Amino acid sequence: MPTVSMTVNGKTVRRDVDPRTLLVNFLRNDLRLTGTHVGCDTSQCGACVVHADGRAIKSCTSLALSCDGMAVTTIEGLATGADLHPMQEAFRQHHGLQCGYCTPGMIMTAIDLVARKGHHLDEHTIREELEGNICRCTGYHNIVKAVAAGAEAMKAPAEVPAMAAE
């Protein structure tokens, strides 16, 4: 079996893998990082989004071997100790999740969106950019609010405006 090595959430990992192993299964089964989810088999739902070398990718559609040498960040790697990433905090503050299954992928997509489009995201942009992420629970309403607030908060990682400010 070939060997794959990468940096996952800041730690170097090295494993022998079946060459057909998908990145998502490598993360979930080999590294037991089960925060990254699988919601489909056609690369449509975005439950599996992680960052590879700083860019959002669908880990269900990438082979572990194709990420050899990359730096991968998963939902588990966002918080610094007890301090949540501002986007995580924004999802909580704005009730941007219900069952939580789509949430890791949503948050990873949202952070990537901020990296690409900046901190002032209008509603239209956010809705368009969430094209590859399906949520069955929330009707997206509060996700959109959370992403906008999280984007702002990432600029000045202090306080996310509270729900009541609506």
- Which lies closer to other proteins via its Cβ, residue 62 or residue 142? 142
Tell whether residue 107 is a contact of other proteins (CB under 8 A): yes
The smaller minimum CB distance to ligand FES, of residues 159 and 163, is found at: 163
Closest contact distance (angstroms) between CB of 32 and other proteins is 8
Q: What residues between 64 and 103 interact with ligand FES by CB under 6 A? A: 97-103
Cα 136 to Cα 139: distance, rounded to the nearest angstrom: 7
For residue 109, state whether it binds other proteins (rule: CB under 8 A): no
Is the sign of the CA dihedral 91, 126, 52, 59 positive or negative? positive
Question: Which residue, 65 or 107, is less far from ligand FES as judged by CB?
Answer: 107
Binding status of residue 91 toward other proteins by CB under 8 A: yes
Taking the C-alpha atoms of 69, 111, 32 and 25 in order, what is their torsion angle to the nearest 10 degrees? -70
Evaluate the CA torsion angle 130, 131, 136, 140 in order and state its sign: positive
Q: Which stretch binds other proteins (CB under 8 A): 51-59, 98-106, 111-119, 151-159?
A: 98-106
Beta pairing, strands 71-73 & 49-52: antiparallel
Burial letters 88-108, b for 16+ CB under 10 A, else e: bbbbebbebbeeebbbbbbbb
Scan residues 28-47 and list those touching other proteins (CB under 8 A).
Answer: 28-29, 32-42, 44-45, 47
Query: Which residue spans within 9-165 are E strands per DSSP?
Result: 11-16, 49-52, 55-58, 71-73
Catalog residues that contact other proteins under the rule CB under 8 A: 18, 20, 28-29, 32-42, 44-45, 47, 74-76, 78-79, 84, 88-89, 91-93, 95, 97-104, 107, 123, 126-128, 130-131, 133-144, 163-164
